[in-house]
Amino acid sequence: MSNLDQVFVTLLHWVVGLVPASLQPWVSTLVIILAIMTVFGTCFALTTILERKILGRMQNRYGPNRVGPCGLFQPVADGIKMLTKEDIVPFSSDQVVHFLAPLVLTIPIWLAFAVIPFGRNMTAIDLNAGLLFFFAIGSASELAVFMAGWAGQNKYSLLGAMRAVAQMISYEVPLVLAAVPVVMLAGSLSLNDIVQAQSGYIAGGLPRWNVLTPWGLAAFIMFLIAATAESNRSPFDLPEGESEIIAGYLTEYSGFKYALFFLGEYMGLFAITSLAVTLFLGGWHAPLPVLEWLPSWFWFGLKFSALIFGFIWIRATLPRLRLDQMLSLAWKFLVPLALLNLLAAAVWHWSGQCRLFPGSMAVRWLVCAAILVFPGIRLGRSLNGLSATPRQYRYAK
């Protein structure tokens, strides 16, 4: 089974060994890039069809069912349509910025996959500050969105871009704060070190995943909420509110450029989902000792698929928020709770090191959970009171 676990690593070494030694670093880099783009490009095509199928099932309607058997060739039809549609550029637009915006969005997202450990010995670049690199490279998306809204010289596009930038900056703060406790307890910014810190099992055969701690569970939930907003997924899809601002910053885009924005949105979702698996779900580690015979990349893919299904389920369930509700949730609930979670993580760590709570793990759980639950309830009530203020309707007499 070790051979199956390392099959992709072995295949890479075999391909690289076919070329002269002077070219091996370049060939290795090229093969890794092609592998990442092929795998996640395939995931993009599958997710688009499966998402529409699942949404159709959940909403009691048919999904795509015309192109190919059971509609499975719908992504191919969509790709051909995007490639053959006319690329319309407004006459008054900034044509250089209009052209660069989709590239600025997609290229950094592809680079973010380079530091994700997809399995044992399956990291393209093992940086000591891999997590910092991921967040730094991801911040380019705000610039790309603003470029897209500004380039079209359209008020709806600019309004959508400003809403998108405000949303992305607001939720980037709790997203980073949710990851800080993981760095604190792992003692490293390397994503491989973070995965290794979650290896092994505790009493009862439970894995040492961060999500199975009180601070880790809270951080995981906050991370997923912020990731949903960062990816412009429902119920945070305000930048593309069709009933309000047409299509937001995408209004003046068509054809292949529009497809690049669509691709970048899904690639961003895949990247941030992969990071969630790495930080909180043990990365490529198996959930039980008896299941370690399965390949490490299989476990990473299974956890990744489960989270993607969760994002689809949320899209089918929750309605779109108002802009004030979205901003209040970030600044008045998630950010204070994420700061409190730093305290909970510190108490969890030092109580285990110094044995402040003799007895069992349950006492530590209760203490750390109390640090989060009671302030969380108070923050939630104040937030609910703010967002549920009754409106007054006045009619002309």
Q: 241: pLDDT confidence band, cut at 50, 70 and 90?
A: low
Q: 118 and 195 in one domain?
A: yes
Residue 169 is assigned to a structural domain of this protein: yes
Task: Pick the last residue of a domain from 84, 116, 147.
Answer: 84
354 vs 88, 115, 230, 311, 361, CA distance in Å?
65, 34, 38, 40, 13
Q: 244 and 117 in one domain?
A: yes
**Domain of 20, in residue numbers:** 1-84
pLDDT digits (tens, 9 = 90+) for 258-311: 888 888 889 999 999 999 999 999 889 998 888 888 899 999 999 999 999 999
Residue 14: partners with Cβ closer than 8 Å, 6 or more residues away = none
**Per-residue pLDDT at 380 exceeds 90:** no
Q: 67 and 97 in one domain?
A: no
pLDDT digits (tens, 9 = 90+) for 310-360: 999 998 888 888 888 888 899 999 999 999 999 999 988 887 776 666 557
pTM over 0.85: yes
Q: 143 and 112 in one domain?
A: yes
d(Cα 76, Cα 46) in Å, to the nearest integer?
10
> Which token pair is 120?
């044992």
Q: 60 and 133 in one domain?
A: no
Task: Pick the last residue of a domain from 84, 118, 138.
Answer: 84
Residue 354 is assigned to a structural domain of this protein: no
Q: 168 and 30 in one domain?
A: no
The total domain count for the chain is: 2
Instruction: Identify the pLDDT of residue 386.
Output: 52
**Per-residue pLDDT at 240 exceeds 80:** no
Residue 352 is assigned to a structural domain of this protein: no
pLDDT digits (tens, 9 = 90+) for 148-171: 888 877 878 888 888 888 888 999
User: Helix, strand or coil for residue 41?
Assistant: helix
Q: 39: pLDDT confidence band, cut at 50, 70 and 90?
A: very high
Q: 131 and 4 in one domain?
A: no
- Most distant CA pair in the chain, distance: 86
> Which token pair is 225?
């909420």
Residue 359 is assigned to a structural domain of this protein: no
Residue 234 is assigned to a structural domain of this protein: yes
Say if residues 267 and 232 touch (Cβ distance below 8 Å). Answer: no
Backbone angles phi, psi at 281, to 5 degrees: -110, 25
Residue 364 is assigned to a structural domain of this protein: no
Residue 102 is assigned to a structural domain of this protein: yes
Q: 31: pLDDT confidence band, cut at 50, 70 and 90?
A: very high
Task: Pick the last residue of a domain from 61, 84, 107.
Answer: 84
pLDDT digits (tens, 9 = 90+) for 174-210: 999 999 999 999 989 999 999 999 988 886 678 889 9
Q: 74 and 161 in one domain?
A: no
Q: 130 and 199 in one domain?
A: yes
User: Which residue, 261, 81, 231, 263, is CA-closest to 157?
Assistant: 261
d(Cα 162, Cα 164) in Å, to the nearest integer?
5
Q: 209 and 171 in one domain?
A: yes
Residue 137 is assigned to a structural domain of this protein: yes
d(Cα 61, Cα 78) in Å, to the nearest integer?
20
Q: 96 and 68 in one domain?
A: no
d(Cα 167, Cα 267) in Å, to the nearest integer?
18
Q: 124 and 187 in one domain?
A: yes
396 vs 334, 378, 390, 393, CA distance in Å?
41, 40, 20, 10
